[in-house]
Every structure is written in structure tokens, then in C-alpha cells.
């Protein structure tokens, strides 16, 4: 059933091609890398490796051009309608990106009595930086209030009614998440924007969306002020993330960009990954993983021993059939009688690599005992069907 383009795309991942007996189902943790990315890294290191921003010779100049060019490439990849007004700040990944906003933006612009909204039941990386910023401000005698926007397991989104309760006249900042890393649901950012109005900055943790589906920052599509992502989840190398900032409310990042050495190799990999993704098409990738996701959730719902977390649970629990499209390539489920680490071990004995532990989720109990399957362009219908066969044999 695989389209030709998908078969060709899959062949471009050397680690996948080298292990036909294994199925990599853990792309939400990190993605595999296409040959184009490996070659770009090799090419950079063998033709122009030098430091950036300080050159009087060709390798150094080419490295500076690589870094500046990739800054533009990130804006372009995100469909930035006003690249002359935005900033791209390279970081080691989403965690550092969120921390940078907390440290540089929040501690500069917030005042006593201001409130910020943070999701609760989300990735720990999208909670700790905001609490840390509150502590830093408190040390200076500035008290801000952190208001929690609770996640709702059933929808894989936040509680819409809770939103109206936590937004107030002192709301100055919102931390949002594009795709939830356990439920796979997408957050209703339009609703947040409507609730807080046009002047409150929204930061979007896009760790599970950039590189997986189209992420476009034109204001009618995604009206946010910051987009934060990890290169390693978007087919590039670890240590190669960025923060995009719309920058319409004054400068965001502290000056001194060239005082440290940027991750030039990671940046080279990011540029190559975005080129590859644009050639294949993130919309096509998203449709492919959505089809696999539906196949997996449909199959799981027929197996009474399993319960799917988030965006509705199993038929056994008596719920209505959910919109499977709302699980963007991420399906987390548990077996009623088998512990998650045992299930992970059993699945690997059949060649399936899944996530089977606490999933880095802040303050949620329902994750216990669950395993997560997460998909990317290289996954196949056959892998899903074989997985379902093994899961069915464990009833
Ligand atoms: N946010 C979300 C939603 C994530 O899924 C992850 C990674 N699992 C992170 C943040 C942290 O990303 P990184 O480890 O690359 O900093």
C-alpha cells in the first residue's frame, strides 16, 4: 500500500535500510537521519569547518554564511511572513529554547503581579523553565503568578472551560504546546489567542510538530510569538534546535550571539534536514503518519486487553470513536495486565522499538504502565500490521 514516494523516502535512511528486521517506533524521542543530512555534515566538516562570525579566511566566512543562511532557512521553513522583523536564536534543543525565553524574555518584561499561563500535564520541559523564571524574579522582589492550564486526557488538549477561568487582565504570557508528546493531540492555539487577545505573547513548544507536519507562523494559521523546536526530532543532529521569535514586541534575546561558538555542525545538519523535508513535503509526511496512526488505533480498539490514552480511550471503556486524525503520529496505550517495561521488552524481542517508561510527563498518573508508539516518514503499513499481530498474541 505504500506510495512510491514513501518507499523512496524510507530508503534514504541508512540506519533503517540496514535493519529490515527492526521497526523504529520511537521518533517522538528522536528521529532517524536521512542520507542527505549525514552527507551535509560530512561535507561541512571536510570542506569548511571553522568558527563562525570571526573570519578573515574562506572556511570561516563559509561557516558564518552557513549560520546566517540557516537562520533565514528556519524562517523560510516556518513560512515566516515577515522575516525582516523576526529573530532565530540557535539552541541545543527545545528544553534550552524554552529556558532561554524564560530567562531572557520573562525576567526582562514581567512586573510585580503579572500572571503567566502554563500547561499542566505536559512535558516537564515546558513547566520547569517557567517556575525557574518565577524564582529568579522573586529574588528581585517581583512576584508573578503561575496559573496552570490543565490537560484533559480525553481530548488530548487543555480543558477549554478552564482556559476562561485562568485568563485574566494580568495575563502577560502563555506557554503552549503544539502536539502533546503522550496523547498526540494538538492544542487549540486559536482559542488561546482569542482568549488572551492580540498583545499577549504565546510561546509554542513545537518539539513534536516541526519536521512532522507543516508548522506555519503566518498569523491566520498559527498566531504565536515564539516557536521552539529540537533539530534531533526533525531529522537533524542532536544539539541543533532553535527559537523563532516574531519580535514584534521589542528585542527578545540578550545580545552576544557571537561571543560563544555555535553548534556549526548541528546547524549544517538542520539546513540539510529542512531542505530534505521541504522536498518530500511535510504535508505529505503528515498525511502518511496520520494514515498509519488511524490503522494502529483502529486495530488497537479491536483488542480488548488494551486501552489507548488520550483523545478518547478504548471501546471497551465505552467511549465514542475519536477523531484519530487528532493523534499526530503518536499513540500511547497500555495492556490491562502487562507492565509497560515488560511490554517494551516483549515488543523488542519481536524487533519493535517503542518508548516504555515515564514519558517525561509532568504530574500525570495515567501514563504509568503505558507504552508509546511514535511514527515518522520511514514507518510502514507492514510495521503497524506486524505490531498489531504481536499485540493481539498477548491477550
Ligand atoms: N517538549 C516536548 C513536547 C517534547 O516531546 C520534548 C522531547 N520529548 C521536549 C520538549 C524536550 O526536547 P529536548 O529533549 O530535545 O530538549
Q: What is the pTM of this model?
A: 0.94
Mutate to test the pocket of ligand 1, among 123, 241, 329 (most ligand atoms within 8 A of CB): 123
Mean pLDDT of 108-125: 93
User: If you measure from the C-alpha of residue 389 to the centroid of ligand 1, how many angstroms do you get, rounded to a whole number?
Assistant: 30
Residues with CB under 6 A from ligand 1: 28, 93-95, 123, 125-126, 177, 181, 205, 207-208, 230, 232, 360
User: If you measure from the C-alpha of residue 208 to the centroid of ligand 1, how many angstroms do you get, rounded to a whole number?
Assistant: 7
Residue corresponding to grid cell 478518547: 312
Nearest to 163, CA basis, from 189, 195, 186 = 195
Mutate to test the pocket of ligand 1, among 119, 176, 177, 181 (most ligand atoms within 8 A of CB): 181
| Nearest protein CA to atom 5 of ligand 1, as residue | 181
Q: Kind and range of the H or E element at 151? A: strand 145-152
Atom of ligand 1 nearest to the CA of 179: 3
Q: Kind and range of the H or E element at 2? A: none
Pull the grid cell for residue 281.
513535503
What's residue 312's pLDDT? 52
Provide the residue count of the chain.
395
User: If you measure from the C-alpha of residue 28 to the centroid of ligand 1, how many angstroms do you get, rounded to a whole number?
Assistant: 8
Could you give the CA distance from residue 99 to residue 118 in angstroms, rounded to a whole number?
Answer: 13
What's residue 337's pLDDT? 93
Label residue 315 by pLDDT band (50, 70, 90).
very low
Mean pLDDT of 310-318: 45
Mean of all residue pLDDT scores within the chain: 90
User: If you measure from the C-alpha of residue 137 to the centroid of ligand 1, how many angstroms do you get, rounded to a whole number?
Assistant: 25
User: If you measure from the C-alpha of residue 125 to the centroid of ligand 1, how many angstroms do you get, rounded to a whole number?
Assistant: 6
- Non-local (6+) Cβ contacts of 289 within 8 A are 212, 328, 329, 375, 376, 377, 379
CB 365 within 8 A of CB 175: no
Mutate to test the pocket of ligand 1, among 90, 93, 211 (most ligand atoms within 8 A of CB): 93
Q: Which residues of 220-238 are buried (b: 16+ CB within 10 A; e: fewer)?
A: eebbbbbbbbbbbbbbbbe
Judging by beta carbons within 10 Å of its beta carbon (0-12, 13-18, 19+), is residue 93 exposed, middle or buried?
Answer: buried
Domains in the chain, please, with CATH? 4-25+281-392 (3.90.1150.10), 38-280 (3.40.640.10)
Could you give the CA distance from residue 153 to residue 109 in angstroms, rounded to a whole number?
Answer: 33
Label residue 314 by pLDDT band (50, 70, 90).
very low
Q: Percent of the chain having pLDDT more than 70?
A: 90
How are beta strands 370-374 and 330-335 bridged, if at all? antiparallel
Atom of ligand 1 nearest to the CA of 122: 3
Q: What is the pLDDT of residues 263-308, one digit of tens each?
A: 999 999 999 999 999 999 999 999 999 999 999 999 999 999 999 8
Nearest to 250, CA basis, from 113, 127, 384, 87 = 87
Mutate to test the pocket of ligand 1, among 95, 97, 330, 332 (most ligand atoms within 8 A of CB): 95
How many C-beta neighbours within 10 Å does residue 302 have?
11
How many C-beta neighbours within 10 Å does residue 98 have?
26
Instruction: Give start and end residues of each alpha helix (H) in 197-339.
Output: 264-280, 282-301
User: If you measure from the C-alpha of residue 94 to the centroid of ligand 1, how many angstroms do you get, rounded to a whole number?
Assistant: 6
User: If you measure from the C-alpha of residue 207 to the centroid of ligand 1, how many angstroms do you get, rounded to a whole number?
Assistant: 5
Q: What is the pLDDT of residues 82-95, one digit of tens each?
A: 999 999 999 999 99
Mutate to test the pocket of ligand 1, among 30, 91, 92, 94 (most ligand atoms within 8 A of CB): 94
What's residue 324's pLDDT? 46
What secondary structure does DSSP assign to 152-190, as a single string? ETTTTEE-HHHHHHH--TTEEEEEEESB-TTT-PBP-HH
Helices 282-301 + 264-280 axis angle, to 10 = 80
User: If you measure from the C-alpha of residue 230 to the centroid of ligand 1, how many angstroms do you get, rounded to a whole number?
Assistant: 7
Beta bridge partners of 245: 87, 226
169-178, 228-237, 259-268: least confident range: 259-268
CB 33 within 8 A of CB 27: no
Amino acid at each position: 500500500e505504500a506510495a512510491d514516494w514513501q518507499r523512496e523516502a524510507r530508503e534514504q535512511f541508512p540506519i533503517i535500510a540496514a535493519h529490515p528486521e527492526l521497526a523504529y517506533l520511537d521518533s517522538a524521542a528522536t528521529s532517524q537521519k536521512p542520507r542527505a543530512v549525514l552527507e551535509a555534515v560530512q561535507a561541512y566538516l571536510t570542506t569548511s569547518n571553522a568558527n563562525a562570525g570571526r573570519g578573515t579566511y574562506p572556511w570561516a566566512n563559509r561557516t558564518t554564511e552557513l549560520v546566517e543562511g540557516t537562520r533565514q532557512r528556519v524562517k523560510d521553513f516556518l513560512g515566516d511572513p515577515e522575516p525582516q522583523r523576526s529573530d532565530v536564536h540557535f539552541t541545543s534543543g527545545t528544553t534550552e529554547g524554552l529556558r532561554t525565553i524564560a530567562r531572557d524574555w520573562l525576567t526582562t518584561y514581567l512586573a510585580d503581579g503579572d500572571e503567566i499561563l502554563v500547561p499542566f500535564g505536559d512535558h516537564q520541559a515546558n513547566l520547569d523553565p517557567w517556575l525557574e523564571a518565577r524564582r529568579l524574579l522573586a529574588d528581585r522582589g517581583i512576584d508573578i503568578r503561575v496559573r496552570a492550564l490543565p490537560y484533559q486526557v480525553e481530548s488530548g488538549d487543555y480543558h477549554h472551560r478552564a482556559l476562561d477561568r485562568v485568563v485574566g487582565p494580568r495575563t502577560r504570557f502563555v506557554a503552549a504546546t503544539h502536539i502533546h508528546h503522550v496523547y498526540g493531540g494538538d492544542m487549540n492555539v486559536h482559542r488561546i489567542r482569542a482568549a488572551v487577545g492580540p498583545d499577549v505573547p504565546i510561546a509554542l513548544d513545537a518539539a513534536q510538530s516541526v519536521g512532522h507536519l507543516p508548522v506555519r507562523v503566518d498569523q491566520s494559521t498559527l498566531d504565536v510569538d515564539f516557536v521552539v523546536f529540537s533539530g534531533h526530532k526533525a531529522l537533524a543532529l542532536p544539539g541543533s534546535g532553535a527559537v523563532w521569535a516574531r519580535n514584534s514586541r521589542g528585542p527578545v534575546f540578550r545580545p552576544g550571539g557571537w561571543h560563544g561558538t555555535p553548534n556549526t555542525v548541528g546547524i549544517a545538519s538542520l539546513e540539510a534536514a529542512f531542505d530534505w523535508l521541504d522536498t518530500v513535503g511535510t504535508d505529505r509526511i503528515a498525511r502518511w503518519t496520520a494514515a498509519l496512526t488511524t490503522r494502529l488505533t483502529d486495530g488497537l480498539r479491536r483488542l480488548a486487553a488494551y486501552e489507548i490514552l488520550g483523545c478518547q480511550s478504548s471501546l471497551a471503556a465505552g467511549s465514542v470513536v475519536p477523531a484519530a486524525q487528532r493523534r499526530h503520529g503518536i499513540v500511547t496505550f497500555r495492556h490491562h495486565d502487562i507492565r509497560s517495561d515488560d511490554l517494551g521488552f516483549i515488543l523488542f524481542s519481536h524487533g519493535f522499538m517503542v518508548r516504555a517508561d515515564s514519558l517525561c510527563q509532568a504530574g500525570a498518573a495515567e501514563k504509568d504502565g503505558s507504552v508509546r508508539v511514535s511514527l515518522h516518514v520511514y514507518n510502514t503499513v507492514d510495521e503497524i500490521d506486524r505490531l498489531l499481530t504481536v499485540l493481539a498474541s498477548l491477550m
